[in-house]
């Protein structure tokens, strides 16, 4: 059976940063990534990131990914397995992996950092299975990873940051965006992103939703409709739009099923967009030795995912008994970065969510000979 | 209302706009950032102490227009593309508006383009005076737009006008294989942006002249449409023979036993 000090599950922004810091502390890290490339969603992010210099603000996500991946390559104590999916965590602490091109193996890590990220939410409306209806992630993959236009005329659903950014990127790719439909009465994403697409002439229809999609072999049009204050469709306000692509960007939900399996305490927290693990301020879940970072612990921006990753990497290594002179200082700095990223009005929702799932009594910072706890969920 | 429409109201704009007095003194920054988000690269970019240090990273940019010298370093550093520089003193009739622009093809100096307002409506024809695209700008080029003064405060973006090209699409680019300029442009628009790809799909460059006529023209079209400089492009792969050769001649050589 394969062994490792720390198994990091998922090579997105959180997983990369967790790997880097754990490896720097001296831990032997196994990083497992389902895709054929590391970077997670960073590989599609052609826009500049927000935040401060510490979180690579003003650098494009795609370049941040390259930077982190390059650094990982400098560590001999990191093993990367790509095209490999973690499919289970068992009560004896054994983790099973499936390799894409054949192969099934077991790993017994001393500690785990789960950075599996999130999946996209979808909408239920008539004909939502027509070809031409995509999630925003798929549209970004087609355009920004493979250089393929998803279509010629797009209606975007969702005016959160992803909906706004992908609308902008579609326009950069020469695709017409007919409009952005948003069920809420207000734009959810950053207003600078909204202003950016508005001055290109893209309308944003707040308090509107998709009533129905049309087409037989593929999407040919969409009926949108207005919503009242109680989110009910207002008959007579239907509007037909001819489009060949409907792009759904209505939020993400944390991919926490492995944490369920490991027996971690999970709570539904609406402001973090779904079922998320209870953890302490060092990112350790209620199961000793199992840590989380990034969207799996609640949907946020990639900047906080990276900081959480750095923190979880340090904490996991510390738990295993590794140490460094600057450990306390660095952990304090990372916690301060998280506090500051979440301190504004945009972070109010996140703060309130994090409060609900941060456990008061922290786990042991160091395991003192104790093994990682993984028991089936109750 | 900004939160509903994504378009700032006149009251909101007035709050962040430089005073008339300051505008009379030369180029100055305008930061249209109205909502606290965790972001401070504008402060990091400014070396004139015109955008003040953030006490909290979520603060709105605190701009001292009197300290700003209009250098524009912050324009391409703002992840929200919310910064522009306005110079009302550019000339008697025109003001200069510098905006970030992340679209291809990039315009070139002298182009007349549509000046757009915050809702994307065309206000006026404007002239591209200069295109800055240095490595430091990291793919967020800055356009200098000469705008009639009456519209200068409202023009925040631009859209290219349909290209009035005197050359017809039927113009022959590759004489050997009858490939037109229209064919080449369609290829580049479809994402084929190397000479090799276009060669394989259109046969341009595979005829008797082996690309001597069309190669340069195709390269220039790719360069103009993708915004890549000629230095970044290549003419593609060269393979023998460099001109057409009669099979018979090669066969004769073989018959004489000189093939090796």
pLDDT of residue A40: 96
Q: pTM score, two decimals?
A: 0.86
Whether A367 maps to a domain, the answer reads: no
| pLDDT at residue B208, rounded to an integer | 84
Q: Are residues B100 and B38 in the same domain?
A: yes
Do A132 and A243 lie in one domain? The reply is: yes
Domain boundary, last residue among A248, A268, A295: A248
* Residue A160 predicted with pLDDT over 60: yes
Check whether residue A20 and residue A113 sit in a common domain: yes
The fraction of chain A above a pLDDT of 70, given in percent, is 99
Is residue A13 in some structural domain? yes
**Which among A190, A197, A202 has CB closest to B37?**
A190
Secondary structure of A151-210 in the HEC alphabet? CCEEEEECCCHHHHHHHHHHHHCCCEEEEEEECCCCCCCCHHHHHHHHCCCCCEEECEEE
The total of structural domains in chain A comes to 2
Q: Are A315 and A270 found together in one domain?
A: yes
Let me know whether A82 and A149 are in one domain: no
Predicted confidence at residue A378, as pLDDT, reads 40
A202 and B120 in contact by Cβ < 8 A?
yes
Mutate to test the interface with A, among B55, B60, B79 (most CBs of A within 10 A): B79
**B141, B160, B179 — which closes off a domain?**
B160
Answer yes or no: is pLDDT of B168 > 90.
Answer: no
How close A355 comes to chain B (CA, Å)?
A: 19
What's the domain range around A96? 2-119+252-357
Q: Considering only the beta carbons, identify the residue of A52, A172, A341 that sits closest to B103.
A: A172
Q: Residue B259's pLDDT band (boundaries 50, 70, 90)?
A: low
pLDDT at B24 over 80: yes
Whether B50 and B173 share a structural domain = no
Chain segment B172-203, per-residue pLDDT in tens = 889 899 999 889 988 998 889 999 999 999 99
A183, A189, A192, A198 alpha-carbon torsion, rounded to 10°: -30
Report the first-to-last Cα separation within chain B, whole angstroms. 81
Q: Do A66 and A145 reside in the same domain of the chain?
A: no
As for how many domains chain B has, the answer is 2
Same domain, B230 and B247: yes
Would you state the pLDDT for residue A377? 45
Q: Are A202 and A280 contained in the same domain?
A: no
Q: Does B224 touch chain A (CB under 8 A)?
A: no
Chain segment A331-374, per-residue pLDDT in tens = 999 999 999 999 988 899 999 999 999 998 788 888 877 888 77
Q: What percent of chain B has pLDDT over 90?
A: 67
pLDDT of residue A376: 54
User: CB contact, 8 Å: A58 with chain B?
Assistant: yes
Question: Is 60 exceeded by the pLDDT of residue A322?
Answer: yes
Range of the domain at B112: 2-160
In a domain, A376, yes or no: no
A342 close to B (CB below 8 A): yes
Is the pLDDT score of B167 beyond 80? no
Helix (H) / strand (E) containing B124: strand B122-132
- Please report, for the domain that includes residue A228, its CATH number: 3.50.50.60
* Helix (H) or strand (E) run with residue B100 in it: strand B94-100
Q: What are the residues whose beta carbons fall under 8 Å from the beta carbon of A312, sequence distance 6 or more?
A: A14, A18, A113, A115, A282, A283, A291, A292, A293
State how beta strands A245-248 and A133-135 pair. Answer: parallel
**Predicted local distance difference test score (pLDDT) of residue B166:** 58
Per-chain mean pLDDT for chain B? 92
Closest listed residue to residue B87, CA positions, set B74, B98, B76: B98
């Amino acid at each position: 059976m394969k062994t490792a000090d720390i198994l990091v599950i998922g090579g997105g922004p959180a997983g990369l940063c967790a790997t880097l810091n754990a490896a720097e502390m001296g831990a032997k890290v196994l990083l497992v990534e389902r895709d054929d490339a590391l970077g997670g969603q960073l590989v599609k992010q052609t826009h500049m990131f927000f935040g401060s210099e510490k979180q690579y603000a003003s650098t494009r996500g795609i370049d941040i990914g390259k930077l982190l991946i390059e650094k990982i390559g400098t560590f001999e104590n990191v093993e990367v397995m790509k095209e490999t999916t973690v499919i289970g965590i068992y009560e004896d602490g054994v983790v099973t992996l499936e390799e894409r091109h054949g192969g099934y193996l077991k790993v017994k890590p001393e500690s785990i950092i789960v950075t599996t990220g999130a999946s996209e939410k979808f909408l239920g409306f008539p004909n939502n299975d027509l070809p031409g209806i995509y999630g925003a992630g798929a549209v970004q993959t087609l355009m920004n990873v493979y250089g393929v236009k998803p279509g010629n005329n797009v209606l975007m659903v969702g005016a959160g940051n992803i909906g706004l950014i992908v609308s902008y990127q579609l326009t950069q790719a020469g695709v017409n965006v007919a409009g952005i439909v948003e069920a809420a009465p207000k734009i959810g994403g950053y207003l600078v992103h909204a202003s950016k697409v508005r001055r290109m002439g893209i309308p944003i229809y707040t308090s509107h939703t998709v009533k129905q999609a049309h087409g037989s072999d593929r999407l040919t049009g969409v009926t949108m409709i207005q919503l009242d204050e109680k989110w009910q469709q207002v008959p007579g306000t239907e509007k037909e739009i001819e489009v060949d692509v409907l792009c759904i960007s209505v939020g993400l939900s944390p991919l926490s099923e492995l944490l369920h399996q490991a027996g971690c305490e999970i709570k539904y927290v609406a402001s973090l967009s779904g079922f998320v693990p209870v953890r302490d301020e060092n990112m350790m879940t209620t199961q000793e030795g199992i840590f989380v970072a990034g969207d799996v612990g609640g949907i946020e921006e990639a900047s906080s995912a990276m900081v959480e990753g750095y923190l979880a990497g340090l904490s996991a290594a510390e738990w295993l008994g590794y140490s460094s002179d600057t450990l306390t200082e660095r952990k304090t700095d990372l916690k301060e970065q998280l506090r500051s990223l979440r301190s504004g009005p945009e972070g109010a929702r996140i703060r309130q969510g994090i409060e609900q799932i941060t456990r008061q009594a922290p786990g042991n910072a160091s395991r003192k000979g104790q093994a990682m706890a993984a028991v089936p969920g109750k | 209302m900004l939160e509903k429409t994504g378009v700032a109201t006149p009251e909101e704009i007035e709050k962040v706009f430089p005073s008339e007095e300051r505008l009379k003194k030369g180029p100055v920054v305008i930061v249209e950032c109205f909502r606290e988000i965790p972001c401070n690269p504008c402060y990091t970019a400014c070396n004139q102490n015109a955008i003040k240090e953030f006490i909290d990273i979520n603060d709105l940019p605190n701009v001292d227009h009197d300290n700003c010298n209009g250098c524009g370093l912050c324009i391409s550093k703002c992840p929200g593309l919310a910064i522009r520089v306005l110079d009302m003193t550019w000339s008697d009739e025109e003001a200069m508006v510098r905006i970030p622009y992340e679209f291809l093809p990039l315009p070139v100096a002298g182009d007349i383009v549509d000046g757009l307002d915050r809702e994307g409506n065309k206000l006026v024809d404007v002239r591209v005076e200069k295109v800055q695209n240095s490595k430091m700008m990291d793919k967020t080029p800055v356009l200098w737009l000469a705008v009639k003064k009456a519209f200068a405060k409202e023009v925040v973006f631009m859209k290219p006008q349909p290209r009035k090209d005197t050359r017809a699409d039927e113009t022959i680019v590759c004489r050997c294989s009858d490939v037109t300029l229209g064919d080449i442009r369609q290829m580049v628009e479809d994402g084929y942006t190397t000479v090799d790809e276009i060669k394989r799909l259109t046969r341009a460059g595979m005829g008797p002249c082996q690309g001597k006529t069309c190669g340069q023209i195709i390269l220039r079209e790719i360069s103009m449409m993708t915004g890549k400089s000629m230095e970044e492009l290549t003419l593609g792969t060269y393979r023998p023979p460099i001109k057409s050769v009669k099979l018979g001649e090669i066969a004769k050589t073989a018959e004489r036993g000189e093939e090796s």
